[in-house]
């Protein structure tokens, strides 16, 4: 078979899978997840899908949840679509969308069981820190879309960005740390992504950050210093 025919076959396959797995966003219109997935299973949201390792692999291991991956890089979406199989990944959808504070315009409040953000861009130069995804305004949005006691997991190999993230959580009363908030030990069943493996070979080991949505506490008053355990 010629290369041209092979490429045409791949394109046809991708477009067929796109029609199955990719959903479109309409500004100001919230997704109806029960309608999209055809069930009432809780939804896990991955922001930035990379090469699709987490979305493709975890959705098979955890078939009792629905998975939504948001990505703005079209090549990464195509790469992920090629890995998805209609019969095996019926609980997966992908969305081409630039993620910022406007996310609340598409994701209904209280509709997400867990948010996963794996290796967000650290924007290491100080003058670019305002471009980092993790800011208080964005955490406000994540708080809104998470269900009660919903979980936020962030993974980064950039030490200063990890401290930045933890500092933001420390300044808030609406998220409680799980297992101390951060660890360098991955949880059981952790899926190693291509980027994570690459950075570890370079000697950069990730920090795994986990917090749970809790009822907002009054700004005044004493704190007991107690941590939440999972």
Number of other CB atoms surrounding residue 90 within 10 Å:
17
| Token code pair at residue 141 | 């949005």
Please identify which of the residues 100, 101, 121, 140 carries the catalytic annotation. 121
Active site residue 157: no
Burial-class residue 130 by CB neighbours within 10 Å (0-12, 13-18, 19+): exposed
Give the strands of the sheet with 175-183, arranged side by side: 22-23, 92-96, 66-71, 43-47, 112-118, 146-156, 207-213, 175-183
Cα separation, 13 vs 11, whole angstroms: 5
Cα separation, 71 vs 51, whole angstroms: 10
Cα separation, 29 vs 25, whole angstroms: 8
Chain length of the chain: 230
Which residues are part of the catalytic machinery? 121
């Amino acid at each position: 078979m010629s290369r041209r025919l092979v490429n045409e076959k791949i394109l046809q396959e991708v477009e067929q899978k796109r029609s199955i797995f990719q959903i479109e966003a309409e500004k100001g219109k919230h997704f109806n997840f029960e309608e999209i997935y055809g069930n009432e299973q809780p939804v896990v949201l991955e922001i930035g899908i990379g090469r699709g390792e987490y979305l493709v692999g975890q959705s098979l291991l955890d078939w009792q949840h629905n998975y939504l991956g948001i990505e703005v890089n079209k090549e990464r979406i195509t790469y992920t679509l090629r890995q998805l199989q209609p019969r095996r990944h019926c609980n997966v959808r992908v969305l081409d969308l630039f993620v910022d504070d406007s996310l609340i315009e598409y994701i209904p409040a209280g509709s997400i069981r867990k948010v996963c953000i794996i290796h967000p861009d650290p924007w290491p130069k100080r003058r670019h820190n305002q471009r980092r995804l993790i800011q208080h305004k964005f955490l406000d949005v994540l708080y809104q879309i998470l269900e009660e006691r919903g979980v936020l997991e962030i993974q980064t190999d950039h030490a200063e960005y990890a401290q930045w993230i933890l500092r933001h959580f420390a300044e808030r009363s609406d998220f409680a740390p799980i297992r101390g908030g951060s660890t360098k030990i991955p949880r059981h069943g952790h899926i190693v992504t291509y980027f994570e493996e690459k950075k570890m070979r370079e000697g950069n080991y990730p920090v795994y950050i986990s917090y749970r949505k809790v009822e907002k506490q009054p700004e005044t008053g004493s704190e007991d210093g107690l941590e939440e355990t999972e």
